[in-house]
Amino acid sequence: MTGWWRQVRSTAPSSASPANACEEGRLPESGERTEVPKEWAGTLLRLAGVESVPTLAPQEGLPIIGVARAALARFADDPQRLPRRPQMLPQLLGALNDPDASGRDIAGIIARDPALAANLLKLANSALYRRHAAAIESLDRAVAVVGVEGLRHLVAVALMQPVMRTESGVFGRLPHLIWDHTQHTAVIAAGLARASGREQVFVAQLAALQQGLGAIVVVQALRDACADAGGALPDAPSLQRLLQHWSPRMGGAIARAWGLSAPVIEALAGQRDQGAAAMGPLARVLATAAAQASAELEGVPQADAA
């Protein structure tokens, strides 16, 4: 096993405080005093060029923000409005959470869905995940190269990608940047949680993917609200606050509708506006990973970021 998915690039925290438990590669204990960087949405808006687009004054943009909030609240309360669960999710989650399931067992399930298999191989050969010169051209080769743990991560990402609708529009590249950010966050979260065991690693990955899916829903609601207002955009700080606050909430609503585990839902719920001391260990891992992923993307030349 190559352990490729554990090779997380270390990113310095934005504050000048000493490295915290997350940066040491372990989950912090409940109540442990740690500095947790939480802001990630503003970076994505900057990279998408939203800040350079003419926007409404804060007061003028409030009605658009209000319409988007109302739509998101309806989505959160009505599972029928949320993205549909991938058909193979229950079966694959069962195999991915089974400590006795081998890589070949998991690959056998994936092979039943040619579209999923093709998506997984495409991911395995992408710049973010590829660690070898030779291309991975089959599921058997993927098992041999990335191992069972790496395959678990790839499967989770491959399952979510078709649900992540990334159409362009008034927000330009923002949906595509959210998907890049989501993948980086999942990889970093895995590295931060790995010392606490495979189960915690997988929960951290799923929470990161659900938060990214929630962010896509937020952008869709904002896009519709802006279209109804004639294409005008609210100011960037208002957009940032809405994206930062509602993405984990929508991710949690989707996780509940899809029947994901309580730890995934709790990690997302912990992203609310609160101090580090009030956050659970996995919530702090997710917050740290999201902020570090934004810092990584900000350092990537835009020609190479997509």
Give the pLDDT of the chain (306 residues) as one tens digit per residue.
233 333 333 333 333 332 344 544 445 554 444 567 788 999 999 998 876 665 667 777 788 899 999 999 998 888 778 888 888 888 888 888 888 888 888 888 888 888 888 888 888 888 777 777 778 888 888 888 877 778 888 888 888 887 877 666 668 889 999 999 999 999 999 999 988 777 888 899 999 999 999 999 999 999 889 888 887 788 888 999 999 999 999 999 999 999 999 999 999 999 876 666 678 899 999 999 999 999 999 886 544 433
Residue type for position 279: M
Calculate the alpha carbon distances from 17 to 12, 202, 256 in Å. 10, 28, 36
Task: Enumerate domains of the chain plus CATH numbers.
Answer: 21-305 (1.10.3210.10)
Calculate the alpha carbon distances from 275 to 151, 213, 246, 270, 283 in Å. 35, 24, 17, 10, 11
* Total length of the chain: 306
In whole angstroms, what separates CA 83 from the centre of its chain? 15
Residue 206 CA to residue 262 CA, distance in Å, equals 12
Question: Closest by alpha carbon to 198, among 61, 5, 38?
Answer: 5
Question: Closest by alpha carbon to 40, among 218, 193, 198?
Answer: 218
DSSP state of 127: T
**For the purposes of burial, counting CB atoms within 10 Å of the CB of 30, is it exposed (0-12), middle (13-18) or buried (19 or more)?**
exposed
Whether the pTM exceeds 0.85: the reply is: no
Residue 191 CA to residue 7 CA, distance in Å, equals 7
User: What phi and psi values does residue 97 have, to the nearest 5 degrees?
Assistant: -90, 0
In which residue are the tokens 């298999």 written?
117
